[in-house]
Structure 1
Amino acid sequence: MASDTLFVGVDVGSGSARAALVDQKGHVLKSCVKELKTWNHKIGYYEQSSTNVWDCCIHVIKNVVTDIHPAKIKGIGFDATCSLVVLDKNCNPISISDAFFLDKDIPNIIMWMDHRAQAEADLINKTNHDILKYVGGKVSLEMEMPKLLWLKKNFSDKWSEFGYFFDLPDFLTWKATGSMSRSLCSLVCKWNYECSVDGKQGWNVSFLREIGLEDLAQDNFIKIGNKVLMPGEKCGGLLEDVAKELGLLPGTPVATSIIDAHAGGLGMIGTNGEGIDKDMTSRLSLICGTSTCHMAVNRNAVNVEGIWGPYFSAMVPNLWLNEAGQSASGMLLDYIISSHPAGMELLRKHSAGDIRSHLKNLLLKLAQAQGLSDMSMLTKDFHVWPDFHGNRSPLADPTMKGMIIGLTIDRSEENLALLYLATLQALSYGTRHIMDTLVSAGYEAFKSLLICGGITKDPLFVQIQADVVGLPILKPHEPESVLVGSAILGACASQYFNNVQDAIENMGGTAEVISPNASLKPFHDKKYRVFLRMFQDQLKYRNIMNS
C-alpha cells in the first residue's frame, strides 16, 4: 500500500459495525462489516448489547489493519447511532430489559429506533421549556432524555445502580481511550445540552429539574458527562490493552466521535460535482439507511418547527445544523416487499437487491405496455403516506401511521412493483416536505442534494428523489461516505490537516451528478398535493374518532 498516512473510520449502524482503511484523499482502501445482535421482544422495543457492539468493532478494525504497519495508522474516528448505553457504577453493562436472556451479552442499550418512551416525551414537551426551541419545539422519543426518564420510572429500584449513561458514539471512544469526554455533536443533538445563540453552553439544570431528572446534576454531571469536546478533536490515545488487541500502537490518536448520519454528512458535504455550487449551505445531505436523515447547515441559527436544531458546530465547525429525517425508509421498503404475498415468494429465491432490479424491470414493461413516457406515471391512482413508524420531520408526530390508497385484490408481482414505486415516491415527497419547511423558516432555496447510504444502491430511488425535488443530486463516487466521515475525524485528531474544514475539502472526493427529469414536474406536483392531503385527512380521522 503506497500511502504512509492512513486513517481508520469506524461506523456502528443499526444492524452492523463497519470499519474502513482510508487514505488522506478520502479513498476507502479496505473495509469490513460484522452484524450486530438486536433484541425486539416487544412491539416498539429495540435493544442491543454494548459488549457485542464493542466486540464487533474490535473484529472489523483488526480486519482492515491486518498486514498494515501500525505506524501508518495516524488516527481513528468513530461514529454510531444515537442509542443510549447504560453502565453500572463499575462501568460494566447493566440490563435495561424486562425480558429474561440466557445470552452472555447483556441488553444495556436502548436503540434510537426504540419507541417505548412516548409518554415521557409527551411529559417533557408539555413543559414548553425554552431549551426545546433547539429541537424544533419538542423532543422526540428517539432522544435520550425521554429514555432516561422512562428508565427512572420503570426501573426505579435499579435507578441508583445506574452509574454512567453514554450516547453510543461516546461509549466507543471511552472503550478505546478510557476518556469520559462527550461529543458536542451527540449532546446538543440528542441530550438537550445547551449551546445557544447567546453563547451559553452547558447542562441546563432548570430543564433537568423540571422534567424530574435533577439528580443527573450530582457530582458535576458525572453520569452524563462534564467534559465536552468538538467532533474531530483528539479525545485520547488508544489504551495499551486495546492497541495490543488491534495490533496498533498505544497512544494512536482517537477523535471525539460523531453520530452516524452526521458522519455521512461530513463525508459528503465537501464533494465536487461538475457544474454544482460548492457552498455547503446550498446543499441538503441525505443519509439513507434503515431511516433517512436530512442534514442542512446554515451560517445563522434557524429555528424550524418540527425539525431538530439549530445545533451549533454539530457537524461542520461554526455552522448551525438543522436535522430532519424519516424514521423508516430502508426499513419501510424492506417491509413493503416482505409483507406482500409476491414479495414473500421472491424473497425465498432472490436477494433484496435482485428483487429491486426485478421490480424495476417489471415497471419498465408496464410503462411500455401502457404507452407511458416514464414509469413514474404508473402510480397515478396509487398513493402512499410513508409514516409506518411515525413522523420524525416535519410533523414531529411519532403517532402518525402509514396510509395506502389504490389497493385491489391483487397478489401479483406487478402489483408489488406498483406499491414499491409508490413508496419510493412517498419517501421523496417526504424529502420535498422537509425542504419546503426549511425554506419557509428562513433557509435559502437549496441548489442540490447529496445522497449516500444503502438505499442509494437502487438508482431508481435516487432518480425519483431528483425528479420530485427538481434538483440535481450528487452521489459520491466513494460510496462509503459515512466511513469517510469518521475517517475525516481520525485525520483531524492526528493533526494531519489544519482543521475539519481542511480535511473535508481534501477528503471529500468527487461525485456523479444525477439530473432531474423536468418533464415529470407537473405529475409530481399533483402527487405531492395528494401527499399533503393524506396526512391532513389522517388528522381529521383522528379528530372524528376522538370527538
Structure 2
Amino acid sequence: MGSDTSNKNYYIGVDVGTGSVRASLVDPSGQVSAICTQETQTWRDANDSRIFEQSTADIWAGIGKSIRGCLQQSQVDPAQIKGLGFDATCSLAVTDFEGEPVSVTKGQTLGKHGERNVILWADHRAEKEAELINGTGSVVLDYVGGTMSLEMEVPKILWLKNNMDPSLFSKCQFFDLPDFLTYQATRDNARSSCSLTCKCSYVPKSGWQKEFFNQIGLGELVEREYAQIGAKEGEVLIAGMPVGEGLSKKAAEELGLLPGTPVGSALIDAYAGWLGTVAARYTKDGVLSEEAPSIAESGHRLAAVAGTSTCHIVQSPEGVFVNGVWGPYKDPILNGWWMNEGGQSSTGQLIDFMLKNHAAYPEAVKLAKEQDKNVHVFIQDLLETLRKEGNHETLTELTKDLHIYPDFHGNRSPIADPRMRGSIVGLQLDASLTSLALTYHATLLSIALQTRHILASLNDAGHNLTAIFLSGGQARNLPLMQLFADVCDVPVVLPKDCDQAVCLGSAMLGRLAHEFAQEEEEMGKKRIGEMKERQAERLWGIMVEMTPPGTLIAPSCTPKEKRLLDAKYKIFLETIDIQKRWRKEMEEAGVVA
C-alpha cells in the first residue's frame, strides 16, 4: 500500500439485508475502497408460507467474514478503522439475557436455545396479533399511520408470548435487528431511536405506553420495567451516537478490528439508504448542480430504497400524520426532525416471481445466455422489438390492455392491509416470449403506479416532495427508473453506485461515532445531552461531505403517454376499490369467517 494512504482514516459500514451481509470500507470523502458480501440463510416452512426465519449467529459470522474481506482487499491496517456503523432489516432478534440465541420456531424448540432466533421482517405469522393491536385504539397507532403492520416487532413479540411457555418467555430479551448488532458488538444494551420509534411502539416524547402493553397482554414487559425490550430512561441513542465503550474485546477478535473502535447507534436499512442518498448533489445533462443541499432541502426529497421490497422515507421539521403510512417518527435519524415511512412489501421479489413463474422464462434465460445478455436486458430488447413491430409509440401503449395490481404479499402502504392480494387483468391463452415480455413491463409499471400512490398520499397529507432519490438493486434497472419519473412526474436521482448507498450511510454512522468519541476523550466524560443537540448539524455535514454526486433522470413522456399513464393510475385505484368490495361481499356471504 502506498505511503499516501498508510495514515489515512477509514470507516466501515455494515448492511444486513434480507439475503446477505455486506461490508464497505469508506474513507472520509465517501470513496469506497473495498466491499465484501456474504450470503445469509433464511429458513422457510414448507407448510406455512408466512414463515421466514434467520439466525443471528449466521449473520454475525457473515459480518466477520465481510469485514475481514474488506481489510484483506484493501490491505488497510485495522488501526486505521476509526469507526463502525450497522444497519439491518427490521427483523426481531431474540436472545436470553446473556445474549445466547433463543429459538423462534413454533414447536418443541420454541423459547429454548436454538440457532433460528430471528423472525424476519417478511414473516407474516402475527396476523391475529396485529388485528388485536389494531382494535385497541391506542395512541401508538397514531404513529404508524393508524394501522400497525404485522411486520413490526410488537405483534411478533405478542405471537411469541401467545405460543411460548411463560417460563421461557420471561427469560427472553427482544431486539430490532440493528440494535442487536450494536449489542453484539459492544455488549451495551442501549437502543436506537430509529428502531424503537419506527418498529417497537416507542411513542415520540412519551416513550413506552404502559396501558397499551397491558391491554394487549404484554403487561409482563411493563412489570419488569421494559428490561426485555430495553430502552430504560437514558438508554435511547440517536443515529451515530457512540454505543458503550466501542467494540468489546470478544467482538473485536471476531471482526478482525481493534477493541474500543467506536460503534455508532444503528439504523434500519432503509433509513441508512436515506442517509447515503438524500444529501447528494446531482448531474443533469452532464452538468453538476452548483450548491450543496441544505438540511431544509431534505424535506423535498423522497428516499426510496428498492430491493426485495421498497421503503420510502421522507423527513420533515414537524410531524405529518398520513393515513396508512408509518410515522410520524421523531428523531429516527436527525435530532429534532420527524420522518414518515411508506413501503411496498414486494417489488424486486415480485419481478422475480412474475418472471420465474412464466412458462417462457427458461427459454428467455437460454436465449439471453446465448446472446451474452442479462435476462432483464434481453426482455427489454424484446419489448422494444415488439413496440416497433406493432407501430406503437411507447411501451405503455404496447401494454395498455394488461393491468397488474402488485400486492401479492399484502399492502404495506398507503392501504396498510396485509390481506390485499395481487391481480392480473388482460390475460390471453399465450405462454410465449411475447407474453413474458408484456407481463414483465406491466409488472414494472404496477410498481411505479404504486409508488405514485404512496407519493401522492404523502403530498396530500402535507409533505412537498419534488424528487425521488432511489438506491438499491432496482436502481440498476434504468427502464424502471424512467417509469418512476414518468408515472410520478418527478425527477429520479440515482446514486453513483446503487449497491453502496446503504453501506455508505452506515459508514457515516461510524464516522460520527468516532468524532463524538474523540470529543468524549478530550472532555473526559460523556455528555449525551450535548451530543444530541449537535447531532443533526454534525451528521448532515458528514452526509454532504461523503455522498457522491448522483445522476438525475427527468420525466420524458409525451402528452399521449401521459394520458395513458394517468388512465392506468385511475384503473390502479379502481382495482383497490373493487378488491375491497369483492372481499366484503364474500365475507357477508359467509365464505370467509
State TM-score, norm by structure 1.
Answer: 0.95
Distance of aligned partners of 1:366 and 1:349 in 2 relative to their CA distance in 1, 3 Å threshold? closer
**Distance in 2 (alpha carbons) for counterparts of 1:443 and 1:536:** 25
Q: Is the 8 A contact 1:51 1:105 kept in 2?
A: no
Single out whichever of 275-284 and 289-298 deviates more from structure 2: 275-284
Q: Is the 8 A contact 2:368 2:378 kept in 1?
A: no
Match of 1:147 among 156, 161, 164: 156
Match of 2:570 among 519, 529, 537: 529
**Distance in 1 (alpha carbons) for counterparts of 2:548 and 2:453:** 29
What does residue 442 of structure 1 align with?
A: 462
Match of 2:307 among 270, 289, 306: 289
What does residue 428 of structure 1 align with?
A: 448
Residue 464 (structure 2) pairs with residue 464 (structure 1): no
Q: Is the 8 A contact 2:238 2:333 kept in 1?
A: no
Match of 1:214 among 211, 219, 223: 219
Match of 2:472 among 434, 446, 453: 453
Cα displacement string for residues 502-531 of structure 1 (whole angstroms, at most 9, x for unaligned residues): 111111220111111131321111111111
Measure how far apart 1:216 and its partner are. Answer: 0.9
Aligned partner letter, 2:491: P
Residue 129 (structure 2) pairs with residue 120 (structure 1): yes
**Distance in 2 (alpha carbons) for counterparts of 1:96 and 1:74:** 36
Measure how far apart 1:215 and its partner are. Answer: 0.7
What does residue 547 of structure 2 align with?
A: 508
Distance of aligned partners of 1:240 and 1:435 in 2 relative to their CA distance in 1, 3 Å threshold? same
Secondary structure, counterpart of 1:341 in structure 2: coil
Aligned partner letter, 2:478: P
Aligned partner letter, 1:454: G
Q: Mapping of 1:266-415 within 5 angstroms?
A: 266-274=275-283, 278=293, 279-347=297-365, 354-415=374-435
Match of 1:138 among 144, 147, 150: 147
Secondary structure, counterpart of 1:189 in structure 2: helix
Measure how far apart 1:154 and its partner are. Answer: 1.2
Distance of aligned partners of 1:207 and 1:100 in 2 relative to their CA distance in 1, 3 Å threshold? closer
Match of 2:41 among 31, 37, 40: 37
Unaligned runs of 5+ in 2: 517-534, 589-593
Q: Is the 8 A contact 2:17 2:269 kept in 1?
A: yes
Residue 123 (structure 2) pairs with residue 106 (structure 1): no
**Distance in 2 (alpha carbons) for counterparts of 1:451 and 1:122:** 32
What does residue 166 of structure 1 align with?
A: 175
Residue 84 (structure 2) pairs with residue 76 (structure 1): yes
Secondary structure, counterpart of 1:495 in structure 2: helix
Distance of aligned partners of 1:141 and 1:50 in 2 relative to their CA distance in 1, 3 Å threshold? same
**Distance in 2 (alpha carbons) for counterparts of 1:343 and 1:28:** 36
**Distance in 2 (alpha carbons) for counterparts of 1:30 and 1:348:** 33
Cα displacement string for residues 3-42 of structure 1 (whole angstroms, at most 9, x for unaligned residues): 4011000000000000000111112111011111101112
Distance of aligned partners of 1:149 and 1:232 in 2 relative to their CA distance in 1, 3 Å threshold? same
Aligned partner letter, 1:75: G
Question: Identity over the aligned pairs, expressed in percent?
Answer: 41
What does residue 478 of structure 1 align with?
A: 497
Match of 1:58 among 40, 64, 67: 64
Cα displacement string for residues 207-260 of structure 1 (whole angstroms, at most 9, x for unaligned residues): 111111111123331111122111110003111122233332210100010000
Measure how far apart 1:478 and its partner are. Answer: 3.0
**Distance in 2 (alpha carbons) for counterparts of 1:62 and 1:465:** 38
Distance of aligned partners of 1:311 and 1:382 in 2 relative to their CA distance in 1, 3 Å threshold? same
**Distance in 1 (alpha carbons) for counterparts of 2:99 and 2:510:** 25
What does residue 517 of structure 1 align with?
A: 556
Measure how far apart 1:285 and its partner are. Answer: 0.9
Secondary structure, counterpart of 2:321 in structure 1: coil
**Distance in 2 (alpha carbons) for counterparts of 1:317 and 1:516:** 34
Aligned partner letter, 1:215: E
Measure how far apart 1:105 and its partner are. Answer: 6.7
Q: Is the 8 A contact 2:405 2:572 kept in 1?
A: yes
Single out whichever of 266-275 and 294-303 deviates more from structure 2: 266-275
What does residue 193 of structure 2 align with?
A: 184
Aligned partner letter, 2:467: S
**Distance in 2 (alpha carbons) for counterparts of 1:72 and 1:7:** 8
What does residue 46 of structure 1 align with?
A: 52
Measure how far apart 1:171 and its partner are. Answer: 0.7
Measure how far apart 1:406 and its partner are. Answer: 0.9
**Distance in 2 (alpha carbons) for counterparts of 1:299 and 1:89:** 38
Q: Is the 8 A contact 1:11 1:19 kept in 2?
A: yes
Aligned partner letter, 1:280: S
What does residue 27 of structure 2 align with?
A: 23
Distance of aligned partners of 1:274 and 1:318 in 2 relative to their CA distance in 1, 3 Å threshold? farther
What does residue 546 of structure 1 align with?
A: 587
Single out whichever of 348-357 and 173-182 deviates more from structure 2: 348-357
State TM-score, norm by structure 2.
Answer: 0.88
Cα displacement string for residues 36-93 of structure 1 (whole angstroms, at most 9, x for unaligned residues): 1101112111000111111111110111122211221110000000000111233211
Single out whichever of 270-279 and 85-94 deviates more from structure 2: 270-279
Cα displacement string for residues 257-277 of structure 1 (whole angstroms, at most 9, x for unaligned residues): 000010001100101124779
Cα displacement string for residues 164-188 of structure 1 (whole angstroms, at most 9, x for unaligned residues): 1111111111111111111100000
Aligned partner letter, 1:213: L
Aligned partner letter, 1:145: V
Secondary structure, counterpart of 1:255 in structure 2: coil
Secondary structure, counterpart of 1:362 in structure 2: helix
